[in-house]
Every structure is written in C-alpha cells, then in structure tokens.
C-alpha cells in the first residue's frame, strides 16, 4: 500500500514509470537470489504430534537429518491415574505445546520463517488431544504463511523408517501399539492397503492393562516403565514361561485379522485365581508374576507372527511385491519389544523377507515421525494444503482406517500356510 501511495503521489508519470521499472528489476533480482537459495538448500518441515498423551515437535530436512526433537511426556501423570484421562491429556498438551515448539526451533537454531511447511497429526487418536495440535499447527501456518500438511498417525509410523534406511516401495508393514494392530502394504506415500487389523484390543493396550492389574508399578525396577516395557522386563526373569497355558487363537482363520481380548481375559483370570488361592491383596504382587508375563508375551508374539506370515503368503501368492524387494517393516510402540523383533526375524528368514525394525527411539509417538511424513508428502506434492481457507477447514478425526481395506480380498484368497515354528525363542 505504501508503494502504491508513493506512485500515485508522483507528479511525473515518466518518473513514476522509471522508478517502477527500477523497483521491478531489483525485486526480480531478489526473487532470483531467494529461488536459488531455496533450490540449493534441503526443504525443512516442522511436525507436531499430540494424538495421545505426549506433546512432540520435530524438525527434519529432506535428507532425513533430524534438526531437532522435543517431547513432553505425560507418562508419570497418567500412571498415577491408572490410565490416560483424555481431559487431563488435552489440558497438558495445551499447557506445553507452545514451549515444546519454541524449544524445537531454538534447538535447531531456526526461526519460523526458515520452515517450509507445518505438518500436524490430525487423525486418528484422542479427539481432544488432536484438536490441540491441529489448532496450534494451523496457528503457526497462519502467522508464518506456511503450507499445512495434515498427517495420518499410522501412515507416519509406517513411513518413519524410510528416514533412516533406504527401503523400496512397496513393502509390508506391521504396526503394533497401544491403540492399533494392523498389517498393510505401503504402496506409496499416500496409498496403503490394509490386510488385517485387530477385532478388539490392541497388544499395547493389553500389556498396559495387565501391568496395572499385576501391580508391576509397585516393584521398584518397573515403577517408571510403561506397561509394555514392564511386561517385557518381567518376562525376561521367568523361570518357567510355559507354566501358564494360552491356547493359540484364530488358527483356522485364513486371514490377517488379530484378536487379543482372549489373552487379556485369560490373564486376568489367572491373576484372580492366584490372588484368591494365595490370599494376595493390597499392593502385594502374585508370586508367579514373571512366569505369567512371559506366557502372555509368548502368546501375543506368536499370534502377531502367525498373522504376519499369512500376510507374507498372500503377497507371495499374488506376486504383489517382486521377490528381491520383499521387506517387512515393524513399527509402533510395541515394536520396541525385542522378543517380538527376534520372532519376526525368524519368520522373515523362513519366508524370504528382509526384516527392518524402525529404530526403537522413533517407534513411540514423536514429532519427528510427523515431520518426516510431512516431508514425504512435500516431496511427492501429495496432501500439501496452501490455500488459507482450506487450511482453516481442516478438522480432526478420532477413528479412521489406514488406506483401502483389502481384508475381504485376503479372506477370499483363503491362503493356506504351514506356520513357522518359534520354539527357538524359548531356548
């Protein structure tokens, strides 16, 4: 407006035109310099994660370099309540998100103007928590005049490994966490085919509930661990992991669906039985706690391996991925479980798949995986929103599937397979 007023106030039209041409030439030179700079440097994406109980912000560039990562964990707060309370989680996100993002920028020695786009988890997850991240992400997009990239939480988990290791598309991914359990084919950055998902509980959810029921937090060495970490650590101390019997589940179902509710109910019955028979109450832990944790872990891992093998058989029979590029990626919070990783390695070796585990530090919810998913979309120009009105219309979704469902297609195929034996894990 100031420049326009200047032109209008000039008494000489010729003078005005001369000044205008000089201004345009200077502006063009400046734009060319900026374009060259932009072309020479890798793109930089800021990612925000608030799908559950951790407030995360990560900044990455197009080379896969993590420029900074900041996370505020609510774990100890929710541990006191025996589970995640959505209202408490959202309030804590609201209190911490500004500081977390400012610290991430400061740690990377960057300003908002240096960021190319803002990526934020908008689905699926706790609605109240997602809303905090989405609101703040759109705010940063607005004040910085940056493109906005809404991110599907599970897609981010599935693609994170590509930030640290070259993996050709397509590939098979097993996503296991406190809220999800699914198998999918990753075709490209915005095309996924779900082969199977959980019919009830997720494995991480089962581990968390059992850890609370077993009162593992009352044992000092487990007191600051998540439920899954405590179960795995307790299981490693077992002297007789076969003492408690868990029957294999869904053995006659020729698909890739999961179920963990039966394991949860059987475990709870075992706990109640020992408490009653041995008069255990209050803060006391049952005597066979380690053996029970081991039995549960073995049952859950065997089930995940069996369903994963069926997904591999489906891919092989349908020739969906070339033989020399067949890869299994495991990601999500439960992927941190080393017992599961060893079992999946056995299955991959038998079935001719390369096994790749997302680095454990990137398996749990974090801002880096959101930033990287944003980067994948930025480079593919897929799902990057630049129109301000469209950005403001972005909303969150509590429940949403991952890509296109191929569950019925797998069921119709009726894949038969001789299951890989995992007895070596007990040796």
Rounded Cα distance between 265 and 249, Å, is 13
Give the containing element (helix H, strand E) for 7.
helix 2-9
Structural domains in the chain plus CATH codes = 44-164+365-392 (3.30.420.40), 171-358+404-426 (3.30.420.40)
Look up the pTM and report it.
0.87
What pLDDT, on a 0 to 100 scale, did the predictor assign at position 82?
A: 64
d(CA 220, CA 84): 22
H-type alpha helices, 145-278: 153-159, 203-213, 227-235, 261-277
For residues 177 and 205, is the Cβ–Cβ distance under 8 A? no
Structure tokens, 328: 């299994």
Polymer length in residues for the chain: 427
- Looking at residue 64, what is its pLDDT? 95
**What is the structure's pLDDT at 80?**
64
pLDDT value of position 424: 67
Looking at 364-406, list the stretches that DSSP marks H as alpha helix, in order from N- to C-terminal side: 367-380, 388-392
For 231, residues 6+ apart whose C-beta sits below 8 A from its C-beta are 207, 210, 211, 216, 293, 296, 297
* Residue 34, pLDDT score: 47
Which residues touch 336 (CB under 8 Å, ≥6 apart)? Answer: 228, 229, 360, 363, 364
Largest CA distance in the chain: 102
Contact 170, 321 (CB under 8 A): yes
Q: Report the pLDDT value the prediction gives residue 90, as an integer from 0 to 100.
A: 92
Determine the Cα–Cα distance for residues 296 and 245; give it in Å rounded to an integer: 9
Low pLDDT (below 70) residues in the chain: 1-39, 75-83, 424, 426-427
């Amino acid at each position: 407006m100031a420049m326009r007023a200047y032109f209008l106030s000039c008494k000489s039209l010729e003078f005005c035109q001369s000044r205008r041409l000089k201004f345009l030439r200077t502006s063009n030179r400046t734009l060319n310099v900026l374009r060259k700079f932009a072309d020479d440097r890798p793109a930089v994406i800021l990612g925000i994660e608030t799908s559950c109980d951790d407030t995360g912000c990560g900044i990455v560039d197009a080379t896969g370099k993590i420029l900074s990562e900041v996370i505020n964990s609510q774990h100890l707060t929710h541990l006191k309540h025996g589970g995640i309370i959505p209202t408490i989680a959202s309030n804590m996100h609201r209190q911490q998100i500004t500081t977390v993002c400012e610290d991430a920028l400061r740690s990377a020695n960057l300003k908002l103007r240096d960021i190319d786009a803002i990526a934020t988890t908008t689905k699926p997850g706790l609605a109240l928590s997602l809303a905090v991240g989405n609101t703040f992400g759109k705010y940063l997009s607005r004040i910085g005049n940056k493109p906005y990239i809404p991110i599907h939480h599970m897609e981010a988990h599935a693609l994170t490994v590509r930030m640290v290791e070259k993996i050709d598309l397509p590939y098979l991914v097993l996503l296991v966490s406190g809220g999800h359990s699914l198998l999918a084919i990753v075709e490209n950055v915005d095309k996924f085919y779900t082969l199977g998902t959980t019919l009830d509980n997720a494995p991480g959810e089962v581990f968390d509930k059992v850890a609370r029921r077993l009162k593992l937090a009352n044992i000092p060495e487990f007191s600051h661990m998540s439920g899954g970490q405590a179960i795995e650590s307790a299981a490693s101390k077992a002297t007789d992991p076969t003492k408690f019997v868990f029957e294999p589940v869904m053995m006659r179902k020729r698909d890739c669906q999961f179920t963990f509710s039966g394991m949860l109910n059987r475990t709870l019955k075992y706990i109640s039985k020992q408490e009653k028979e041995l008069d255990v109450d209050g803060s006391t832990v049952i005597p066979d706690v380690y053996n029970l944790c081991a039995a549960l872990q073995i049952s859950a891992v065997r089930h995940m391996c069996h369903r994963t093998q069926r997904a591999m058989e489906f891919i092989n029979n349908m020739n969906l991925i070339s033989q020399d590029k067949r890869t299994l990626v495991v990601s999500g919070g439960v992927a941190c479980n080393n017992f599961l990783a060893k079992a999946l390695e056995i299955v991959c070796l038998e079935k001719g798949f390369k096994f790749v585990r997302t680095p454990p530090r990137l398996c749990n919810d974090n801002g880096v995986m959101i930033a990287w998913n944003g980067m994948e979309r930025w480079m593919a120009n897929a799902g990057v929103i630049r129109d301000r009105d469209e950005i403001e219309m972005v909303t969150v979704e509590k429940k949403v599937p991952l890509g296109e469902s191929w569950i019925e297609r797998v069921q119709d195929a009726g894949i038969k397979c001789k299951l890989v034996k995992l007895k070596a894990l007990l040796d």
